[in-house]
């Protein structure tokens, strides 16, 4: 009996130790890469470059009311406890308002509340809007060892609820900060508006969908402004570059940091995206015209829905003629 009690107690002790060890292991971050041990905070210049040109994106390119442009950049430096937005998850009310209307107040309140409740936010940053599809805007941001992640959003204007951005980019590599990083950006749908084109009227998505990446084939609908079925992937619609500032560079405006020169000429040198002509369905046949007891002709027509661009497939004939027998002859 004593042996049985001893075995029972031993098993109980071993089980308790095992549970304790497993519980401790589950609380430790996986891999050293997730822990930032950089001693001092770092400052970065962040340069957002719009590459939304008519050459790269010829389909339904907005030329007026309003023309293609970008909203202001709104971003945050934070820890892993906070998320501004995530692919395949539902957008917050703040992200919805920003993606649909460019209104930042609700999103900034969400960021401030997250910072107050769980101390997950180090700072908010913003950069001015760009009044055309191509161009640059910039600002500075600061990251900390406890808040090494960067997230931001920029609204595509005009659009239903489309945006570009970055979700939780880690600028820390173990015990040091990255010197420079550039990321190509592609369009996302916030999942709150059901429009297919840049100029679609407001039509709420009910129930709300998750944030999804827009590709050359998804949404798979010919009306989609980014629908280019002959492409494998869309060209980048924007790019962001972050450069760590040296102490003697602090306070300088970001465009004058030692970066390769950028201009609209460089942006427009991207490979051209071919756009095939699109035409409507044929109309019904017109009346048969001609002399009685002789073969006459009738015509049907169609019209151009989308003009070709960048050596895309040219438009076919817009009218077609065929023989017929005139009716109602005396």
Q: pLDDT tens digit string along 206-260?
A: 999 999 999 999 988 888 999 998 899 999 999 999 999 987 655 544 443 433 3
Dump pLDDT digits (tens) for 74-96. Answer: 999 999 999 999 999 999 999 99
Q: How many CA atoms lie within 13 A of 107 on its CB side?
A: 27
pLDDT recorded at residue 31 = 33
User: From CA 231, how far away is CA 262, in angstroms rounded?
Assistant: 26
pLDDT recorded at residue 194 = 92
Predicted TM-score of the model (pTM): 0.75
**CATH 2.60.40.2130 boundaries in the chain:** 42-244
**CATH 2.20.100 boundaries in the chain:** 278-324
User: From CA 327, how far away is CA 324, in angstroms rounded?
Assistant: 9
pLDDT recorded at residue 313 = 77
Exposed e or buried b per residue across 194-223, where buried means at least 16 C-beta atoms within 10 angstroms of its C-beta: bbbbbebeeeebeeebebeebbbbeeeeee
42-244: CATH, from 2.40.10.10, 3.30.70.890, 2.60.40.10, 2.60.40.2130: 2.60.40.2130
Contact between 87 and 211 under an 8 Å Cβ cutoff? The reply is yes
278-324: CATH, from 3.30.420, 2.20.200, 2.20.100, 1.10.3470: 2.20.100
pLDDT recorded at residue 259 = 38
User: From CA 276, how far away is CA 54, in angstroms rounded?
Assistant: 14
Give pLDDT < 70 ranges for the chain: 1-34, 248-271, 307, 328-330
pLDDT recorded at residue 151 = 97
């Amino acid at each position: 009996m004593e042996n049985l009690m001893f075995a029972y107690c031993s098993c109980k002790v071993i089980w308790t130790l095992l549970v304790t060890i497993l519980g401790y292991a589950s609380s430790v971050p996986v891999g050293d890469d997730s822990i930032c041990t950089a001693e001092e905070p770092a400052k970065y210049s962040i340069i957002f470059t719009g590459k939304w040109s008519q050459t790269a994106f010829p389909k339904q390119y907005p030329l007026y009311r309003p023309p293609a442009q970008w909203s202001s950049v709104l971003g945050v430096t934070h820890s892993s406890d906070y998320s501004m937005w995530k692919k395949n998850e539902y957008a917050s009310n703040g992200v919805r308002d920003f993606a649909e209307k460019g209104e930042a107040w609700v999103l900034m309140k969400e960021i401030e509340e997250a910072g107050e409740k769980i101390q997950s936010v180090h700072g908010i940053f913003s950069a001015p809007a760009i009044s055309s599809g191509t161009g640059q805007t910039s600002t500075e941001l600061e990251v900390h060892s406890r808040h090494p992640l960067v997230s931001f959003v920029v609204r595509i204007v005009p659009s239903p609820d489309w945006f570009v951005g970055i979700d939780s980019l880690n600028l820390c590599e173990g015990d040091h900060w990255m010197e420079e990083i550039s990321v190509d950006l592609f369009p996302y749908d916030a999942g709150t508006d059901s429009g297919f084109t840049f100029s679609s009227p407001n039509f709420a998505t009910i129930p709300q969908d998750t944030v999804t990446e827009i590709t050359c084939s998804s949404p798979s609908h010919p009306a989609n402004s980014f629908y280019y079925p002959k492409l494998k992937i869309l060209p980048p619609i924007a790019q962001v570059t972050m450069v760590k500032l040296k102490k003697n560079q602090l306070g300088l405006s970001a465009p004058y940091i030692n970066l390769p020169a950028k201009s609209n000429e460089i942006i427009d040198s991207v490979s051209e995206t071919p756009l095939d002509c699109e035409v409507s369905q044929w109309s019904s046949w017109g009346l048969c015209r001609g002399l009685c007891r002789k073969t006459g002709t009738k015509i049907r027509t169609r019209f151009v829905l989308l003009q070709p661009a960048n050596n895309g497939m040219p438009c076919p004939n817009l009218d077609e003629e065929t023989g017929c027998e005139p009716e109602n002859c005396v």
